[in-house]
Structure 1
Amino acid sequence: MNRWLIDARELRRHSKETTAYGSRLLNMQERQLGRSADTDSTISHLRELSVFPSLGREWPEILSIIEESIVPCVRFEKAGRRGGLWEVEASLPAVLSEAIVNGMAAVGLQWASCPVLTELEVAVMDTLAAALDLHDKFLHSSGMGGGLIQNTAADALLAVVAAARVRKRVQACLGMNNPMHGRVEEMLSDPDSSAKIYCEDTAAMTVDSFPGSAADLRVSTTCLASQIFFVRVTGLIDEGMRCSRHRTPRGEIFFNLSPLIGDALQVPVGPDLSISVDELEAMIVEDKSRAKVPVLCVAAFGAENTEGHDNIAALGRICEREGIWFHVDASYGGGTLFLEGHQEDHMQINRYADSINMSGSCWLPTGLDMEFLWVKEKQWMTAAFAATGDYLPKAMDSISAPTLSKWSVPLGRQFRSLRLWCVLQYYGLQGLTERIEAKVATAGSRSAAPDERFQGDDQGFEANANLTIEFIARYFKSLEKGPVRDLELQAGSCAACLMENGILPAKGRSWEAILEDIQRLVTPGMCNWQHPRFLAFFPAKTSTPAILSEAIMAALGGISADPASHNAIEDRMEAIVMDALGKALGLGEEFLHTSGMGGGIIQNTASDALVAVVAAARTAMHSKVLSDPSMQPGGHQRGCTLQFVAYMSDQTHFCAEKACRVTGVRFRKASAWRPNISMGCEGVELGIEHGLRFIASSLDETGNFPVHVARLKAAIAEDREQGFIPILFIANYGATNTCAVDPLDDLGLLCREEGIMLHVDAAYGGTALILDAFRGDAAKIRANADSVNVNGSKWLGTGFSSAFLWVKDRRNLTATFGSLGKEPRIDRDAIECSNVSHWLVEPSFRCSVVTLREIRS
């Protein structure tokens, strides 16, 4: 079977059965509340059908497998019921716009990479902030703060923790409140400089309101991910639960790894399940007396389990007095701010909060991966996530065209603002307000009123879906005749047209009218990544099954979010699909779930994978240090993680540097050869530039830029003499900018000698391993690497949010992010029942494995 990735005729041909099935999914109101007992038989059936067949299947056959085998096992968080922790709502505009987003498959690296993507995100976030009556400082238009869309609340909190830490370091160590000063970059980049300003223990006061709440999982995992070694997480429990050792299934990690995170204290809450202000004040006093530095307080504005609220004003006054970053986690309760009668809440949040997050997935019918984060001072976000590498050309930021990749870990951004814009247009302010009022009125009920906009109107949905598929087909046909991008576009021009048209109308509009506006207002501002002449940045290929299956997943609304579950269809499918792809790439048994120790997981981006890898390497080395007193600096355990160092090439994706900053690990960069560097006998030298120590790499006879292993070895020895502890080297297998490939055999030998982990970043080049010509490279990765990541969005046609990570020892990930810190080796038959949400920061993730499986078919 010979197919192009996108065939407009094929897309049209398969739209009818897909839209009919999507309509049935959206109209299901009586869905099972638990997991199907048939998960095991379903997995066996999928294996019999072959997870990765030699020849592709036709789409109708794939759709039949989804409907008959997979969907009956999925737990529906969107079902017509109430009372669950994660209530995800899909809708007609969310489902149909998801197909458009995946069809266009644009990636927002910076403004030039897709002007309308950046400008629409700025416009919708400012419009939402105004509708929520947030302070002007939270708006991009203020020039001070702004908002952006995150995948999950965990991602939002991770960004906040990183920004709060940087602000405290700058204020405490440089005595100023402006991170743009030149000394700040030196402080953040130069390991020798940062050694002078690291605090051994920095307390992150996390404020939640109920044992086992989802907010607790988010705060726990994000603090574990970011600078665990000096962030002390304080658990909060009900008075009646004080004898309980662990707040949540994941709470065990605080006690299993207490040397890693410091003391895990328990702060009582009052009868209303809000934090005891007096107890918090007393704890801050105690921490300061012990030379600890309070950095962050996270207040709950509506907890998932109890819908309880913390005392925003009282906590805000404490944070203001102590110089603590005050974040309001309104992921669950924030939607009520749309309604009248919450003036006091608005006033308190606007007066005291430095940042606030809210879930669009819970309150707006946007579907998954829609968390909103606003900050009053964007300067701390850009300071926390800035990177020194010249990976992209420098771009001047403006109010309407900020570089949002500087606000979070990932480099690329999906066009989720288009999905949000479509939802706002379709319902209007009145429609959204009515939906939120209905949710509040039925709070605690097991059933909710159906959405009358499409409930029972199968023909209406299918007609709109067919219009959408036709729009996508025309879009692809038009690419051959048009330019890659309008080079005459000026920053702000797209937003001006969109704002003039109205971002959030008073009343909703028809889907047909919205499609016309997408054609008129959005497509002229696109950089067409699917254009046949698009050669910039990197490929991000989509395909017919990716577009159709993403729409199905949007209607499905299924997520894996149960920390206690080890037999969810999402987890089981992810295991067998990642094993099938791992085998196809030649990674070997050790990287597979069936090995009983390793396995693979799907991440949103390669950046997320690198955060997990660095955090896991830090956990693994810390365990070694605890068992070997001779490795502990000064003979004591506390503070040893301050000396951890990761190494990378300057050809490495600069999100590796971000990952090190977020996780609190020092880094050394290996510089590529430059003509103006004086040449030594080996053609390289160890130099200092911009506060970074470079381990020079050389241009070899192939035109490649491999790291110079001898210089790397010398640098590691020098670092050890200075008391640093090497933990990881991040090698390149096809760097995105130069396609550099590092000498994996030599690096593997060095890493084994030094007792450090070796990760291979094969995000760009890894897909080539599926070819016979590259089996030798696969053997090198198999023999030397502890982990490897590959991006499906580059060449496999999966679209965005398809980064694959394999590890040989999953225990380092579960010890960092899950509740399995003491778990022994798992039986071969039981490993596929593992909950892969324990492998990453987010306590929940969507069922993205459906897309990956259908691409392979």
Structure 2
Amino acid sequence: MSEHMTPEEFRAHGKRVVDWIADYLTRVESYPVRSPSRPGEVRAALPGHPPEHGEPFDAVLADLEHTILPGVTHWQHPSFFAYFPCSSSGPGILGDLLSAGLGVQGMVWATSPACTELETVVVDWLAELLGLPTGFRTDSAGGGVIQDSASSASLVALLAALHRASGGKIATEGITGRYTVYVSSQTHSSLEKAGRIVGIGSNNVRVVEADPDTLAMDPAQLRALIGADVAAGAVPAMVCATVGTTSTTAIDPVAALGEVCREYGAWLHVDAAYAGVAAVCPELRWINEGVHEYADSYVTNPHKWLLTNFDCTVLWLADREPMIDALAILPEYLRNSATESGEVIDYRDWQVPLGRRFRALKLWSVLRWYGAEGLRAHIRRGVALAAEFADLVRADADFALLEHHPLGLVCFRPRWPGLSDADAGAATMAVLERLNDSGELYLSHTKVRGEVWLRLAIGGPATERGHVLDALAAIRRFTRAVRDGRS
């Protein structure tokens, strides 16, 4: 066997890999949605030591089929309804393959001009498709950048917010004094993690009460909490408004929160990781209310609902200067004439790591293959299926429906007459475990006002109406089984 795979060998094995992926996507419905593997099972099936001599690629594919695949939870399965969709597509996969083949490290413009400039084009395209502010375009004071995840994007936004709030001192002097960040009880946990990473600590990530009915952040409570913190000597650095919370897709009142931010000089970050891409449909663009007037930064994930395989998150800023000032470091080995000219974007200054993949290729491939029309059709189909599922649950006296379901997520729970809240929660979790253990579908859960609710998220490209109806039939069947077992 040669030391390196030759182009001819790569061509032969590459065709087999593409065929394997195509076959996998064709047969994915035949697998249990959630892997039945037990902890340590995959590891135990693999050798304990690396091979001394190279092995043929046939052996890799054989182990993939017989050892790895049984330990895979199938996110592309049409009955995967847990968490949020992490939807892949043919164009996205091929774009990722092209990125891997080119092997670009796009840390600065000079290391591959096309890597940078294609990214500026696709983030501007996406901003236009979603009806976002023109100030988010890269030919303005703001701009967009592709990150690996919304967690990283929110961390970058927080660094920029702290830099601005400190008058530019954070980057050079570190944190001196108390800076605060404001979230609601429904905000993604990545904001608290960002607070820990930047060094302000979890205690300064302040939790604002959410409206008990809508689960949206309460602007009056935000104003009161910031006012009290300012009186105690704190500097309010950032407020995170969420458009489509992870738990229930609750939507914070961005405009009202923006007014409070403007009053106190705080940065408004809008986390629309799941829901933001829905704005590709004009009738759903109401989710952008307040963004144009108040948002300092905005994040959404094409890798959730927009057919672009993980990882692909887009972060936009209304003014990129605080971010670049907070993150830019230019060692001698990165100096080059293009950077010195000031005429190019160096995306290394827009993220935490130095290195970066050519992620724009897969988003570009998806946008070109589907076009605006195809993307809108995909989103609309998910919304319509979720609405139909919600209607069926609402009409069933054995279930309760959480009425806020404007997009592709529906939250619901079985009714357990006569049971305490604790026992009802335990019974609902028993239904969830039986459903997921069955392999027929995969759901996740949340807690709302102390009650356990099941979450069914629709948005996978292979999910059809029949899969949704089959899911409801299975939910009813396992609910009856748990109820009969308790009686």
Say if 1:229 and 1:346 are closer, same or farther in 2 by CA, change over 3 A: closer
SS in 2 for 1:141: coil
Question: Which one scores higher on RCO, CA 8 angstroms, separation ≥ 6?
Answer: 2
**1:121 corresponds to 2:127:** no
**1:201 corresponds to 2:178:** yes
Query: Structure 1 unaligned runs (5+)?
Result: 171-183, 210-214, 237-266, 448-857
Deviation of 1:277 after TM superposition, in Å, equals 1.7
Give the conservation status (yes or no) of the 8 Å contact 2:88–2:308: yes
Say if 1:188 and 1:232 are closer, same or farther in 2 by CA, change over 3 A: closer
Query: Which letter maps to 1:355?
Result: S
Deviation of 1:16 after TM superposition, in Å, equals 3.5
Partner of 1:426: 369
**1:387 corresponds to 2:387:** no
Give the conservation status (yes or no) of the 8 Å contact 1:35–1:74: yes
Query: Which residue among 158, 162, 179 is the counterpart of 1:161?
Result: 158
Partner of 2:98: 100
Q: How does 1:449-598 map to 2 (within 5 A)?
A: none
Distance, in Å, in 2 between the alignment partners of 1:32 and 1:269 is: 39
* Of 110-119 and 223-232, the range deviating more from structure 2: 223-232
Cα deviation per residue 1:214-237 (whole Å; 9 max; x = unaligned)? x5222122221112348711235x
Query: Which residue among 328, 341, 347 is the counterpart of 1:404?
Result: 347
Query: Which letter maps to 2:144?
Result: G
Distance, in Å, in 2 between the alignment partners of 1:374 and 1:92 is: 26
Query: Structure 2 unaligned runs (5+)?
Result: 391-487
Distance, in Å, in 1 between the alignment partners of 2:21 and 2:389 is: 24
Give the conservation status (yes or no) of the 8 Å contact 2:195–2:202: no
Distance, in Å, in 1 between the alignment partners of 2:267 and 2:288 is: 18
SS in 2 for 1:374: strand
Give the conservation status (yes or no) of the 8 Å contact 1:296–1:327: yes
Say if 1:269 and 1:31 are closer, same or farther in 2 by CA, change over 3 A: farther
Deviation of 1:2 after TM superposition, in Å, equals 3.3
Distance, in Å, in 2 between the alignment partners of 1:119 and 1:225 is: 30
Partner of 2:86: 88
- Equivalent residues, number: 388
Deviation of 1:200 after TM superposition, in Å, equals 2.5
Cα deviation per residue 1:168-216 (whole Å; 9 max; x = unaligned)? 011xxxxxxxxxxxxx5xx4565xxx37xx442211102353xxxxx52
Deviation of 1:340 after TM superposition, in Å, equals 1.4
**1:32 corresponds to 2:29:** no
Query: Which residue among 74, 77, 87 is the counterpart of 2:75?
Result: 77
Give the conservation status (yes or no) of the 8 Å contact 2:277–2:300: yes
Cα deviation per residue 1:310-346 (whole Å; 9 max; x = unaligned)? 1111101111111110011000110111111245433
Distance, in Å, in 2 between the alignment partners of 1:388 and 1:403 is: 11
Query: Which residue among 192, 200, 203 is the counterpart of 1:228?
Result: 200
Cα deviation per residue 1:59-90 (whole Å; 9 max; x = unaligned)? 11111101111111111223213532131111
Cα deviation per residue 1:460-499 (whole Å; 9 max; x = unaligned)? xxxxxxxxxxxxxxxxxxxxxxxxxxxxxxxxxxxxxxxx
Q: How does 1:586-735 map to 2 (within 5 A)?
A: none
Q: How does 1:761-780 map to 2 (within 5 A)?
A: none
Q: How does 1:50-449 map to 2 (within 5 A)?
A: 50-81=48-79, 83-142=81-140, 144-170=141-167, 184=168, 187-188=169-170, 190=172, 194=173, 198-207=175-184, 209=186, 215-229=187-201, 232-235=204-207, 267-387=209-329, 389-394=331-336, 395-396=338-339, 401-443=344-386
Distance, in Å, in 2 between the alignment partners of 1:397 and 1:390 is: 12
Say if 1:225 and 1:445 are closer, same or farther in 2 by CA, change over 3 A: farther
Deviation of 1:445 after TM superposition, in Å, equals 8.0
* Of 17-26 and 285-294, the range deviating more from structure 2: 17-26
Give the conservation status (yes or no) of the 8 Å contact 2:297–2:318: yes
Cα RMSD after superposing both structures: 2.3
Distance, in Å, in 2 between the alignment partners of 1:100 and 1:343 is: 33
Distance, in Å, in 1 between the alignment partners of 2:344 and 2:254 is: 33
SS in 2 for 1:140: coil
Partner of 1:529: none
Deviation of 1:399 after TM superposition, in Å, equals 9.1
Distance, in Å, in 1 between the alignment partners of 2:343 and 2:60 is: 43
Distance, in Å, in 2 between the alignment partners of 1:139 and 1:124 is: 10
Give the conservation status (yes or no) of the 8 Å contact 2:178–2:200: no
Give the conservation status (yes or no) of the 8 Å contact 2:130–2:279: yes
Distance, in Å, in 2 between the alignment partners of 1:277 and 1:158 is: 23
Distance, in Å, in 1 between the alignment partners of 2:115 and 2:75 is: 29
Say if 1:30 and 1:200 are closer, same or farther in 2 by CA, change over 3 A: farther
**1:7 corresponds to 2:14:** no
Say if 1:446 and 1:67 are closer, same or farther in 2 by CA, change over 3 A: farther
Partner of 2:446: none
Say if 1:89 and 1:311 are closer, same or farther in 2 by CA, change over 3 A: same
Give the conservation status (yes or no) of the 8 Å contact 2:109–2:339: no
Say if 1:343 and 1:17 are closer, same or farther in 2 by CA, change over 3 A: closer
Cα deviation per residue 1:571-628 (whole Å; 9 max; x = unaligned)? xxxxxxxxxxxxxxxxxxxxxxxxxxxxxxxxxxxxxxxxxxxxxxxxxxxxxxxxxx
Deviation of 1:22 after TM superposition, in Å, equals 0.3
Distance, in Å, in 1 between the alignment partners of 2:294 and 2:263 is: 11
Give the conservation status (yes or no) of the 8 Å contact 1:145–1:375: yes
Distance, in Å, in 1 between the alignment partners of 2:229 and 2:82 is: 37
Distance, in Å, in 1 between the alignment partners of 2:162 and 2:297 is: 14
Partner of 1:42: 42
Deviation of 1:384 after TM superposition, in Å, equals 1.0
Give the conservation status (yes or no) of the 8 Å contact 1:109–1:403: yes
Distance, in Å, in 1 between the alignment partners of 2:103 and 2:43 is: 30
SS in 2 for 1:442: helix
SS in 2 for 1:383: helix
Deviation of 1:271 after TM superposition, in Å, equals 0.9
TM-score (norm 2): 0.75
Say if 1:349 and 1:398 are closer, same or farther in 2 by CA, change over 3 A: farther
SS in 1 for 2:2: coil
Distance, in Å, in 2 between the alignment partners of 1:268 and 1:109 is: 40
Give the conservation status (yes or no) of the 8 Å contact 2:130–2:285: no
Give the conservation status (yes or no) of the 8 Å contact 2:216–2:251: yes
Distance, in Å, in 1 between the alignment partners of 2:125 and 2:343 is: 13
Cα deviation per residue 1:550-586 (whole Å; 9 max; x = unaligned)? xxxxxxxxxxxxxxxxxxxxxxxxxxxxxxxxxxxxx
Partner of 1:17: 16
Cα deviation per residue 1:439-468 (whole Å; 9 max; x = unaligned)? 222237889xxxxxxxxxxxxxxxxxxxxx
Distance, in Å, in 1 between the alignment partners of 2:275 and 2:308 is: 16
Distance, in Å, in 2 between the alignment partners of 1:107 and 1:444 is: 43
TM-score (norm 1): 0.43
Partner of 2:424: none
